[in-house]
């Protein structure tokens, strides 16, 4: 059984994913960048607790959700762009990539170099694995470069037993 992006972005499912992930310690108080955020709902509960949160998403359909979110969260920024075309002079304390690595049309080493260039020393990279095999080398390269702090299944309890899918979430730390 495969769930849809719609379900993943529903309020209830976002609450559940937040509960499983316990990602707060890696976001709160940290300037953050999220790639491929879809509607941007997943980590909304942390937006008030970050100095600045930037969404980078190529699908213009989601812009209307970001405009609404910005009314509630003045520190929310967004760019409609694929990561491969995203350019910035800013660097970030945390970069979030949930179920997005397989979607980015870049060579794995170029992708990891680009992430690394935007991640501050001592910063966290939070990634969710793919259901497809595309760009899996990104994970090997992260293992070589960063310290792996956390590996946990994306789902727990009943949801895990239902075998909806087999993703894991990994949290890496860049050396300070
Ligand atoms: C499987 S969805 C995951 C959505 C969300 N991160 C989540 O975990 O629910 C993949 C997301 O990546 C976005 N995406 C696709 N190509 C991308 C690219 N080149 N750069 C950044 N994001 C991309 C899609 O539009 C979509 O929002």
* Structure confidence at residue 167 (pLDDT): 84
pLDDT in tens, 78-112: 999 999 999 999 999 999 999 999 999 999 999 99
| Cβ neighbours for 28, distance < 8 A, ≥ 6 positions apart | 46, 49, 50
Assessment of whether the complete model's pTM goes beyond 0.85: yes
Among residues 153, 111, 133, the alpha carbon closest in space to that of 21 is found at 153
Residue nearest to atom 27 of ligand 1 (CA): 38
* Structure confidence at residue 77 (pLDDT): 98
Residue nearest to atom 10 of ligand 1 (CA): 100
Distance CA 28, CA 172 (A): 16
Residue nearest to atom 4 of ligand 1 (CA): 38
Residue nearest to atom 5 of ligand 1 (CA): 37
* Structure confidence at residue 165 (pLDDT): 67
* Structure confidence at residue 127 (pLDDT): 96
Give the position, in ligand 1's atom list, of the atom nearest the Cα of 9. 9
Ligand 1 centre distance from Cα of residue 93 (Å): 20
Structure tokens at 61: 């359909």
Q: What is the mean pLDDT of each run of 10 residues along the chain (176 residues)?
A: 62 84 95 97 96 98 97 98 98 97 96 98 94 89 97 77 78 97
**What sign results for the dihedral spanned by CA atoms 117, 109, 127, 77?**
positive
Structure tokens at 79: 């760019």
pLDDT in tens, 17-29: 888 888 999 999 9
* Structure confidence at residue 1 (pLDDT): 38
* Structure confidence at residue 142 (pLDDT): 97
Q: What DSSP state is assigned to residue 30?
A: S
* Structure confidence at residue 151 (pLDDT): 92
Give the position, in ligand 1's atom list, of the atom nearest the Cα of 34. 6
- Residues with a CB atom less than 6 Å from ligand 1: 5, 8-9, 35-38, 42, 56-59, 82-84, 98-100, 103-104
Ligand 1 centre distance from Cα of residue 60 (Å): 12
Ligand 1 centre distance from Cα of residue 144 (Å): 25
């Amino acid at each position: 059984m495969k769930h849809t992006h719609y379900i993943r972005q529903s309020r209830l499912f976002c609450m559940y994913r937040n509960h499983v992930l316990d990602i707060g310690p890696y976001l709160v108080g940290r300037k953050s960048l999220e790639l491929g955020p879809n509607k941007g709902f997943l980590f909304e509960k942390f937006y008030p607790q970050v100095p600045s949160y930037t969404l980078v998403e190529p699908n213009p359909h989601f812009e209307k959700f970001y405009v609404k979110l910005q009314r509630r969260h003045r520190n929310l920024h967004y760019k409609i762009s694929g990561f491969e075309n995203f350019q910035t002079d800013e660097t970030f304390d945390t970069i979030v990539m949930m179920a997005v690595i397989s979607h980015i049309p870049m060579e794995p080493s170029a992708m990891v170099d680009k992430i690394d260039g935007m991640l501050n020393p001592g910063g966290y990279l939070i990634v969710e694995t793919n259901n497809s095999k595309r760009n899996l080398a990104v994970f090997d390269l992260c293992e070589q470069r960063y310290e792996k702090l956390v590996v946990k299944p994306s789902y727990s309890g009943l949801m895990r037993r239902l075998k909806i899918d087999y993703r894991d979430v990994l949290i890496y730390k860049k050396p300070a």
